[in-house]
Amino acid sequence: MPSLLDSILEVNDQNQLLAPGLDAKTLRNSLGAVLLGSLICCFLSGIVSMQSIFYWRIYVRDMTRIKVMVGIVWAIDFVHAIMACAANWTYLIENFGNLDVSTHITWSVAVTVALTALNTFLVQGFFAHRIYTLSRGNWWITAPISILAFLRLFAALVSTSEMIRLRSYPEFVKLYAWVFTVGLSLGAAVDIIIAAGLCYFLRRGRTGFSSMDRIIDSITLYTVENGLLTSVTTVISLICWVVMPHNLIFLGLHFAISKLYANSFLATLNARKALMTRSQGSSDRGGDHALPVLFPDSYRSRAVFSRYVGANTVADAVGTKVQINVEKTIQCDNEGEPSDHATSDINPTDDDDIAKISQRS
């Protein structure tokens, strides 16, 4: 039994509605890819909204700038989903039966390109700030990331303006394909640099304590997975754009890029709760304890130190506490006459040693 598309193509053969060079396969790869990409886009947008609500309910004491950024990312993502749905309405409803519409660039599609770049820029800027904090203000790594992220945004804005002006995919491919290519390439490159930078500085911050090192390993793996997901999707979209510019498969993938960045950003914020619980151990559930390794200044925590040692700053604080306890014990045992090893540095190697020293005081 012939499909609806085959029936439309039959009518086209009689009335010449279809532009030369377009066939059923091209139309499926174009309009079908836009429809499928929009469905995935809406699904991921729902996850973004869910994560945003979770963030606002759980992390009520976060700094205002972080809350504002979450609101901006969610709003951009929501508008992006609306634009994707508007593109489907134009392609599949308003121009039903007009198969030549697959070569037309709607204004809503052009806007999604700019919104994707804007969300990408915000999220990459957030992670660049994390690298800046972890590297103790190292501009040699953060400045190139910021510059490349801005160039990616600029290339996307140029692509958006030209798409709106030309309103034709063949014309855009002929004149400005390189601009869109540069934008996607820069986005993938920045993702890789950010993931590599975060992994390097996190690994460099290992404390030597098995409990905290396991948390750092989890954060490192999580960073690699986030960077890999966004960069791989961007690279696949770039490959489809370069290899198959005559269809819209690249656009279906491009719809998902903005959602992946937003989810990566929100998941990074929301993961703190689980990491904080892990850092405090199963017996210490009271109080909020920030992880200075990942978020040194974004979460206002009470000064509660568990038996697990945190990042370098927390390790220093615990180390000072251990030394004071040892001095008190020596004073008690020797009645003001410290022995030769009383002033030596103590470097416990595991949690049991720390517990024993604390019990002696």
Shared domain check, 149 and 87:
yes
Shared domain check, 260 and 166:
yes
Q: Which two tokens stand for residue 249?
A: 């498969």
308 pLDDT more than 60: no
328 pLDDT more than 60: no
Instruction: Answer yes or no: are the C-beta atoms of 89 and 232 closer than 8 Å.
Output: no
Work out the number of other CB atoms within 10 angstroms of the CB of residue 63. 14
For residue 122, what is the domain's CATH number? 1.20.1070
Beta-carbon contacts of 175 under 8 Å, excluding residues fewer than 6 positions away, are 162, 166
pLDDT-derived band at 287 (thresholds 50, 70, 90) equals very low
H-run or E-run covering 190: helix 169-204
Indicate the residue among 280, 295, 326 that finishes a domain.
Answer: 280
The answer to whether residue 273 sits within a structural domain is yes
pLDDT in tens, 120-172: 999 999 999 988 988 888 888 899 999 999 999 999 999 999 999 999 998 99
- Compare 80 and 13 and report the one with higher pLDDT: 80
pLDDT in tens, 238-275: 999 999 888 888 999 999 999 999 998 998 888 877 77
Shared domain check, 233 and 319:
no
Nearest to 307 by CA among 294, 295, 321: 321
pLDDT-derived band at 77 (thresholds 50, 70, 90) equals very high
312 pLDDT more than 50: no
Shared domain check, 332 and 187:
no
